[in-house]
Amino acid sequence: MDRSGRPRLGFIGTGVVATALARGLTDAGYPIAAVHGRNRRRAQALVAGLPGAILAPSRQDVVDAADIVVLAVSDDAVAHVAASVRWRPGCAAVHCNGAASLDLLRAASDGGAEVGVLHPLQSFANPDQAGRLMRGSCFRVEASSERLRALLEEMASAVGGRPFVLGADPTLYHVSAVLASNYLVALLDLAASLWTEWGATPEDGLRALLPLVRGTIENIDALGIPAALTGPIARGDAGTVERHLAALRALAPHVMPVYKELGLRAVSVALAKGTIGSEQARRLEEALGSPDALSGESEGGAGCA
Ligand SMILES: NC(=O)c1ccc[n+]([C@@H]2O[C@H](COP(=O)([O-])OP(=O)(O)OC[C@H]3O[C@@H](n4cnc5c(N)ncnc54)[C@H](OP(=O)(O)O)[C@@H]3O)[C@@H](O)[C@H]2O)c1
């Protein structure tokens, strides 16, 4: 611990999360003792912005210099990296993998270290926007001791985050995050790709769709679900949905499965909103789940995944 009683932090890994956390925690007054990364140039660049931090020649030097070592490496590398160093009682190993629990750090706990998880529930595509995005984000915290849990909660709060303990296996929690974030990107990629059907580019499509996406997110934030749902399914306009399906069958059959799956979910949301009744729901579900639509999809959809 430093003179203020704050833990000395070490980082193994120099990617986007290591950079975001190290910069944010430095700004919040935490001492960063040492950083090590496979890519020396990136490690040097990170250390240059962290007053007092040293560029550690090896992972072991980070462990030896720090009270809490953040293993901010790719998910699949965490266990291997943890097993590649000697741990000691009194220090802690922490990973940032949202889908995994403490068992990834068995090597560290076998070596006498406390172990924990600090998972920012946020999408960091580059470190420069990460500081802003961390503020207000939830951070899943898990630890082998109350002491470490409290320290990790303080770290999350110090960067403007909202720490919480899940108290369950984190795999489905991570599925939820992937659906809400990564699959939103995939969905917009699919939506924008349709613009090539009339000679525009996917980039044109994305630029046109983004204000719609922002408006939808604002509605979800202000009104919640189901109130935020609009569009043909919320209105019960089955004729429009049937026209969509006919066009997809003819021009873009690969989009049918996702359109129908999410459409069926939207029917449930519309029912919960109360803007359609059971008869309209039945007609929509028939269109979205009908064997006719399915056979049309397979006729034209040799490329369907
Ligand atoms: N990005 C996000 O939005 C986000 C959000 C929440 C949590 N997380 C979690 O944060 C952790 C780090 O993710 P990231 O997004 O920061 O990844 P990243 O930017 O790709 O950085 C990964 C880091 O791990 C290092 N690394 C990869 N394989 C390694 C190995 N076998 N041995 C040693 N180092 C290795 C890389 O070194 P090189 O530079 O040499 O390749 C790099 O420094 C992951 O557990 C991830 O699940 C990420």
Q: Is 17 in the pocket of ligand 1 (CB under 6 A)?
A: yes
Q: Is 96 in the pocket of ligand 1 (CB under 6 A)?
A: yes
Neighbours of 99 (CB within 10 A): 16
Q: Is the pLDDT of residue 165 over 90?
A: yes
Neighbours of 45 (CB within 10 A): 13
Q: How confident is the model at residue 218 (pLDDT cuts 50, 70, 90)?
A: very high
Which pLDDT score, from 0 to 100, does residue 66 have?
98
Distance 158 CA to ligand 1 centre (A): 22
Distance 125 CA to ligand 1 centre (A): 12
pLDDT tens readout for residues 185-195 = 999 999 999 99
Q: What backbone torsions phi and psi does residue 140 show, to the nearest 5 degrees?
A: -75, 125
Q: Is 120 in the pocket of ligand 1 (CB under 6 A)?
A: yes
Distance 76 CA to ligand 1 centre (A): 9
Domain final residue, candidates 119, 148, 168 = 168
Ligand 1: atom nearest CA of 37 is: 43
Q: Is 30 in the pocket of ligand 1 (CB under 6 A)?
A: no
Are 164 and 184 in a shared domain?
no
Listed in sequence order, the residues at least 6 apart from 111 whose beta carbon sits closer than 8 Å to its beta carbon are 86, 87, 88
Q: Is 182 in the pocket of ligand 1 (CB under 6 A)?
A: no
pLDDT tens readout for residues 100-146 = 999 999 999 999 999 999 999 999 999 888 889 999 999 999 999 99
Q: Is 98 in the pocket of ligand 1 (CB under 6 A)?
A: yes
Q: How confident is the model at residue 296 (pLDDT cuts 50, 70, 90)?
A: very low
Are 19 and 138 in a shared domain?
yes
Are 77 and 141 in a shared domain?
yes
Is 194:115 a contact under the CB 8 Å cutoff? no
Are 152 and 192 in a shared domain?
no
In the predicted model, what is the mean pLDDT of residues 190-204?
Answer: 98
Are 129 and 198 in a shared domain?
no
**Structural domain containing residue 198:** 178-300
Which pLDDT score, from 0 to 100, does residue 34 have?
98
* 102 within domain boundaries: yes
Are 48 and 96 in a shared domain?
yes
Is 155:118 a contact under the CB 8 Å cutoff? yes
Distance 207 CA to ligand 1 centre (A): 30
Helices (H), the chain: 16-27, 40-48, 59-65, 78-83, 106-110, 127-134, 146-158, 171-180, 182-193, 202-223, 232-235, 238-251, 256-273, 278-289, 291-300
In the predicted model, what is the mean pLDDT of residues 27-52?
Answer: 96
Distance 21 CA to ligand 1 centre (A): 12
Q: Which of 38, 40, 78, 173 to mutate to test the pocket of ligand 1 (most atoms within 8 A of CB)?
A: 38
Distance 96 CA to ligand 1 centre (A): 9
In angstroms, rounded to a whole number, what is the distance separating the alpha carbons of residues 296 and 264?
18
Are 83 and 160 in a shared domain?
yes
Is 140:162 a contact under the CB 8 Å cutoff? no
Which pLDDT score, from 0 to 100, does residue 5 have?
86
* Nearest residue to 100 (alpha-carbon basis) of 172, 160, 152: 172
pLDDT tens readout for residues 53-106 = 999 999 999 999 999 999 999 999 999 999 999 999 999 999 999 999 999 999
